[in-house]
Structure 1
Amino acid sequence: MITPLLTSRTGEPASVRLAGLAEQGASGALSTESGIFYLADGHVVHVESAVTPDLGDLLTHSGALDADGWWEAIDRAGRGCRVGRQLVDSGRLAAGALELCHLGALFDAAYFVLTHDGPALRFRPGVAHWLGSVRPVPVDTVLRESARRRELLQRIWPEPAIDRDPLVRVPGHAADLPARRGRILAQVDGVRTAAQIATALACRTFHTLVELRRLAAAGLVVPAAAAPVPAPPAAPPVPAGPVPLVPPSTTPTPAPAPASAAPGSAPLTVVPDEPDTALLRRLLHALEAL
């Protein structure tokens, strides 16, 4: 017989509920409209968000880990919630590399979940994430880092739709952009969102948001919903007098030139983004000092 999972429903803002769970030293999963926080002994061990690349995408798209190694770890250790430990013990990934990448994914997802700080929907005690505990982070550290990121992005460009909506390029002078910003601009196609661009380039989402807001501030990128609609082409003028009849030409029509098999520019080479290791190492040192 399976015992039903008890849940605690709440209407408090997610940040308030997280702080309360931290004081209680609780373990479980706190669900919101934007994602899920996983806690162990009052610390955040993982955050899921539908609009950020997950840890597996970051590791495999960046080349740090092959896809077979990722799925093998899930198959072997997913049921026991020890996937992170399996990656390290198998020698596929160094512990430090896993911690840095996991912290980046955790803070990225937490930013999106806490951006609007909507109501916490429910808390499920005892629920653990299949990744396991890699580097537990105090709740107040997560809240403080999310607020810092929100304020930084607001200073760069105060339009939050850039973070979530499909984006469109605006014709303009885009020369002499930094390499990372230029790669990100090249991925703006009217369909992709910031998270999809981050996944395509194996970047962390926050780095991508910073560059996209800088592009928006420069007038080079707008949300698709705000893109200007091009005016229809003007109709050709109608001649005032009668149109003279022109006899058909006897000159043979030249054959059309063969179309190029690959029009446009060459395929984009995906260059993995350099991680902001300085910031994450400072966070690691601060956590170790607690």
Structure 2
Amino acid sequence: METAAPVHAPALLHRLAEERVTGAFTRAGGTLFLVDGEIVHAESAAATGLELLLTRDCALSPARWDAALTRAERDGGVARQLMAGGQVPEGVLDLCRRTALYDAAFFVLASGGGPGRFRHGVRDRLGAHGGVPPMVVERETARRLALLDRIWPDARLDVLPPVPTARAAPAAPQDVGVPLSAVPDRRLPVLRLADGVRTATDIARALARPAFHILVELRRLAAAGLVTPAGPAAAGTPHTAGTAAAAATPFPTGARPSEAPGAVFDAPDVELLRRLRDALEAL
């Protein structure tokens, strides 16, 4: 029995997978690199790059990463250089590579950036082996979009700099503000960097964390009434579920948002949102 293909990604990507081609598939949100029809690497200006993930918790220094890049131009991919020199354990490299792949692919596939174009034979600088079928990456992207919408159905924080609300002010009265001690440790650094200037991408890179994880934390901070977007979203902003382009992009069955993201909301029922947040974190 033939399985129906998800309709979220462009048909071209499905055809490339079926034909087991090698090359680079590019949309507004970034590029997916395919080898034999499977995605081996992804890059996006909105995502956190592999080098930041590797240099965050690994012994790899930025200087060694740069050296691997230089050698890779002569002697093969970066992954081969890092493992050959024993600078990064294979398991660590694979974990960081797949984290970076899914992080960047989210912005490519969720961009609503048109059908895309393909360049045959183009290889990524990483030179990694062991890809992921596009259908798997596509399903994960749809799951992430649905998760964001469940947390807080307003996608403006995905592209606009977050601004702390009066409730997040450290000096606010107890009945108005939320003490910083009540904010989970993993969310507190994000809140501290929400200054109305940095975007989610900027915060992710400052913390060397995957950009999608920061989107999740910002949506949860918004649900708690602690941050709000700096201004109105620009029409047609890539990858934002609330834009006209993304709203027209069909979701796989079961992943369609229950409410239209991007709408301007009245003042939220904070107590209800707190209960929803607690329920989600308990899952």
TM-score class normalised by the smaller sequence: 0.7 to 0.9
Q: How does 1:1-290 map to 2 (within 5 A)?
A: 14-172=9-167, 173-175=177-179, 176-226=182-232
Over aligned residues, Cα RMSD in angstroms?
A: 1.9
In the aligned structure 1, how far is the partner of 2:111 from the partner of 2:118? Answer: 19
Q: What is the CA–CA distance in structure 1 between the aligned matches of 2:204 and 2:213, rounded to whole Å?
A: 8
Partner of 2:186, secondary structure, is helix
Q: Structure 1 residues 154 and 64 mapped into 2: Cα distance closer, same or farther (>3 Å)?
A: farther
Conserved? CA contact 1:99–1:135, under 8 Å: no
| Structure 1 range deviating more: 112-121 or 175-184 | 112-121
Give the letter for the 1:99 counterpart: D
Percent identity, please.
47
Whole-angstrom CA distance in 1 between matches of 2:144 and 2:59: 26
Contact 2:52 2:208 in 1 (8 A): yes
Secondary structure, aligned partner of 2:51:
helix
Determine which structure has more spread, i.e. the larger CA radius of gyration. 1
Residues 46-82 of structure 1: CA distance to partner in whole angstroms, max 9, x if unpaired?
1111111211122224454201110110010135541
Give the deviation of 1:226 after TM superposition.
Answer: 5.0
- Whole-Å separation in 1 of the counterparts to 2:57 and 2:27: 29
Contact 1:52 1:109 in 2 (8 A): yes
| Structure 2 unmatched runs, 5+ | 1-6, 168-176, 234-283
CA contact (8 A) 2:148 2:219 kept: yes
Contact 2:47 2:201 in 1 (8 A): yes
Aligned length, in residue pairs: 216
Q: Is the 8 A contact 1:33 1:120 kept in 2?
A: no
Deviation at 1:83, TM superposition (A): 0.5
1:260 alignment partner in structure 2: none
- Which whole-Å deviations, capped at 9, do the CAs of 1:224-269 have from their partners, x for residues lacking one? 1159xxxxxxxxxxxxxxxxxxxxxxxxxxxxxxxxxxxxxxxxxx
Deviations 1:144-199 (A, max 9, x none): 10011000111001111111211111110332111011111001111111111011
Q: Which amino acid aligns with 2:227?
A: V
8 Å contact 2:29–2:111 — kept in the other structure?
Answer: no
Q: Give 1:117 deviation, angstroms.
A: 3.2
Q: Give the superposition deviation at 1:14.
A: 4.6
Question: Would the aligned equivalents of 1:166 and 1:193 in 2 still touch at CA under 8 Å?
Answer: yes
TM-score by length of 2: 0.72
